[in-house]
Amino acid sequence: MIIREYVPNDEQGWLSCRVVSFLNCSYFNDVKTKKEIYPHPAVCLVAEENGKIIGLIDIEMDSDDLTYNDRGRGAILWHMAVLPEYRRRSIATDLWEEAQKRLLSRGIRYCELWTQEDKAANRFYRSIGFEMENENTYIRCYAIRDKCYELLDKTKTGDIYGAEELVFQAALQRKDELKTICYRIDEVRLYTKSLV
């Protein structure tokens, strides 16, 4: 297994690795058909074995989406995945360690990531030194189909002929209240790590 920089010819392997890796977590519906191109420089690495992409990590430096701008230069970890059959071989840790070296060499002082309440992901991020920032946790809610209309301002949308799904974010404190109109509610958590 080798860890190397992502190149454009890796796109199909990257997409396949990401979608298959996400199937058994709460991000199963976050399917990409193209790899993002970040507005700022990024560290994008893949783990490859016998010509197959088996893991990936994408971290954007100096992102406009950083939550904390008072901690020096920062980065956001946007994607991290390892194919299920390759897990428990330290591939995710190896990807992170290589990415961290590259971030430090470019003057990045800390890293952020957002994840949902998947136990394995949360356990992994804590194991490599990330700490959850509790005050930033919010919920992502998926409204029950029949309840979507109650949440829409018809004076702004006009006549609509069907709402298949409405996904929205709300404060964590509203979780119990929103259970009556949502079929799925995921906690979204911010983790941060100082790199120095």
Mean pLDDT computed over 5-14: 97
pLDDT at position 137 is: 93
Fold classified for 2-133:
Aminopeptidase (3.40.630)
What's the token pair of residue 103?
Answer: 């971030």
Looking at per-residue pLDDT, the higher value among 71 and 162 belongs to 71
Question: Is the pLDDT assigned to residue 188 strictly greater than 70?
Answer: yes
How confident is the model at residue 57, as a pLDDT?
Answer: 98
pTM of the full structure: 0.88
What's residue 28's pLDDT?
84
pLDDT value of residue 153: 65
- The burial class, CB within 10 Å (0-12 / 13-18 / 19+), for 60 is buried
77: nearest Cα among 105, 53, 50, 45: 45
Closest CA to 28 of 39, 13, 18: 18
How sure is the predictor about 179, in pLDDT bands with cuts at 50, 70 and 90? very high
150 has a pLDDT exceeding 90? no
Chain segment 78-136, per-residue pLDDT in tens: 999 999 999 999 999 999 999 999 999 999 999 999 999 899 999 999 999 999 998 99
Question: pLDDT-based confidence at 162, cuts 50/70/90?
Answer: low
Per-residue confidence (pLDDT) for residue 196, from 0 to 100 = 84
pLDDT at 30: 85
The reported pLDDT for the residue numbered 156 is 67
Is the pLDDT confidence value at 149 over 80? no
| Predicted pLDDT at 193 | 95
Domains of the chain, by residue range, sit at 2-133, 138-186
Per residue in 21-66, pLDDT tens?
999 888 888 888 999 999 999 999 999 999 999 999 999 999 989 9
Q: Whole-angstrom Cα distance, residue 149 to residue 36? A: 32
The pLDDT of residue 31: 86
Secondary structure of 113-159 as H, E, C letters: EEECCCHHHHHHHHHCCCEECHHHCEEEEEECHHHHHHHCCHHHHCC
